[in-house]
Structure 1
Amino acid sequence: MAISELQWPASVTAREFKSPAQLAQRLAADVAERLRAAIAGQGRATLVVSGGRSPVAFFEALRHEKLDWSKVLISLADERWVPVEHADSNAGLLRRHLLQGEVAKARFLGLYRAAANLDAAALEADQALAELPPIDVLVLGMGDDGHTASLFPDSPNLAEGLRVDGERRVLPMLAPSVPHQRLSLTRRLLATAGFTALSVQGEGKLATLRAALADDDLVQMPIRAFLHDPLDIYWCP
């Protein structure tokens, strides 16, 4: 099934690409265009991205886009509670694949804090993100279980994390796989983005989206919380 065959809400725009490389190039071009527009309009831009292996091609394509990166603030939608030097760190991933060359001029606001425990780290990150300007561009991913950012089904704080009127910007979250401890931006903050893209690849992710459209239980599949807000989906087989 093609992504265009699914019955999307009016707020969703679904785009299909032939290959991961084509998707990464188009997403990078679209993100860069919106960042340039934000800089032109307000003198600065804020970009929030997701980690993991899937966005690497996008990061490396975005790295070559021409814009004034010194006027861009970059942050993360979620993070594993590990130091930047750890192989699983999303901040470390960005340093290797995005924050290179001209992009190194951007300001990076990470989520990891070396606190006594996960709850304390999340509270420190929440306070640090009080200085995050309005998000101009947000790029999300999605797992086969329907999680996005680190808003995982069955995580103890999920209900609070999905509240659009919640009090927190960052919450501690538990993933069903190692490493278990995560920090995640909440829906309250994620939903404020001026432009939100969801980048997904493969028939498995298409099946997940099909299942997400079939019901409205946000706790079972957190991605559902974002399918009725303005969302641009970038998908390839």
Structure 2
Amino acid sequence: MAISDLKLPEGVTAHTFEHSAALARELAKKVAAQLSAAIAGTGQATLVVSGGRSPVAFFEHLREQPLEWSKVVVSLADERWVPVEHVDSNAGLLKKHLLQGAAAKARFVGLYNVAANLEDAAEQADRLLAELPPIDVLILGMGDDGHTASLFPDSPNLNQALQLDNPRRCWPMLAPTVPHQRLSMSRSLLASAKTTVLSIQGQSKLNTLNDALAGNDVAALPIRAFLQPTLEIYWCP
């Protein structure tokens, strides 16, 4: 299956790249252009990214882009509830691969905080996100199970986190893999982004995306919540 075989909703566009390096390079250029345009228009720009190992090359290309980084706010679509120093921390990943050099001037708004339990941590993150400027660019990933951010199928709180009319910005979520405890931006906050890109690699992700396009049960495959007009998909084998 190729991405051209997918029956994409009207308004959704797809871009195919030969390899991950090309995808990372072109995505960095696109995001930098979008952020620059936002800065020119409003004096600031907000970027929300996903963690994991897949975006590392993208982060490293993006930090080299000629941006007014002091006018950029960076945040995370989701976070593992572990300290920044932990190997699984998304914030730690950003600090190592994106927030370096000139990009270190960006303001980072993280989700992790020390709290008595995951619910308390999510409530604290929710209050912090109330101060997050409007999201200009959102970069999502997707798992083979159809999750995006940390909106995992069968997780407690999933149905509430997927409600567009729920004003809460951050939810405690549970992943099927270690570390299990996660913090995730809600669908309503993520859906408010002016530009959304889904960046995925590999045939299995393409198969999952094809399955998502074939049905309507958002809770079964949460990525379905974001397969809306204006979405751009970046894919490589």
Range class of TM-score, shorter chain: over 0.9
TM-score (normalizing by structure 2):
0.99
Which deviations, in whole Å up to 9, do the C-alpha atoms of 1:176-213 show, x marking residues without a partner? 01000000000010000000000000000000001101
Instruction: Give the structure 1 partner of residue 236 of structure 2.
Output: 236
Shift of 1:11: 2.6
The 1-side partners of 2:123 and 2:94 are apart by 23
CA distance in 2, matches of 1:17, 1:201: 10
How far apart are the structure 1 equivalents of 2:126 and 2:154? 22
Q: Which residue in 2 is equivalent to 1:2?
A: 2
For 1:49, the aligned partner's letter is V
Q: What is the Cα-based RMSD across aligned positions, in Å?
A: 0.6
Aligned residues with identical type, % of pairs: 68
Equivalent residue, structure 2, for 1:108: 108
Segments of 5+ residues of structure 1 without an aligned counterpart are: none
The offset of 1:228, in angstroms, is 2.3
Deviates more, 1:90-99 or 1:8-17: 8-17
Query: Does the aligned pair in 1 maintain the 2:10–2:229 contact within 8 Å?
Result: no
Q: Which amino acid aligns with 2:138?
A: L
Count of aligned pairs:
237
What is the correspondence of 1:43-192 to structure 2 with a 5 Å cutoff?
43-192=43-192
TM-score by length of 1: 0.99
Amino acid at match of 2:89: S
Measured in 2, the distance between the counterparts of 1:92 and 1:66 equals 23
| Structure 1 consecutive aligned stretches of length 4 or more whose deviation exceeds 4 Å | none
The Cα of 1:84 is off from its aligned counterpart by: 0.3
Q: CA deviation at 1:164?
A: 1.0
CA distance in 2, matches of 1:159, 1:166: 10
Secondary structure of 2:215's aligned partner: coil
SS state at 2:130 partner:
helix
**Superimposed CA distance per residue, residues 89-116 of structure 1 (whole angstroms, 9 cap, x where no aligned partner):** 0000000000000000000000001000
Residues 1:16 and 1:73: Cα distance change in structure 2 (over 3 Å): same
The residue correspondences of 1:28-39 to structure 2 (distance < 5 A) are: 28-39=28-39
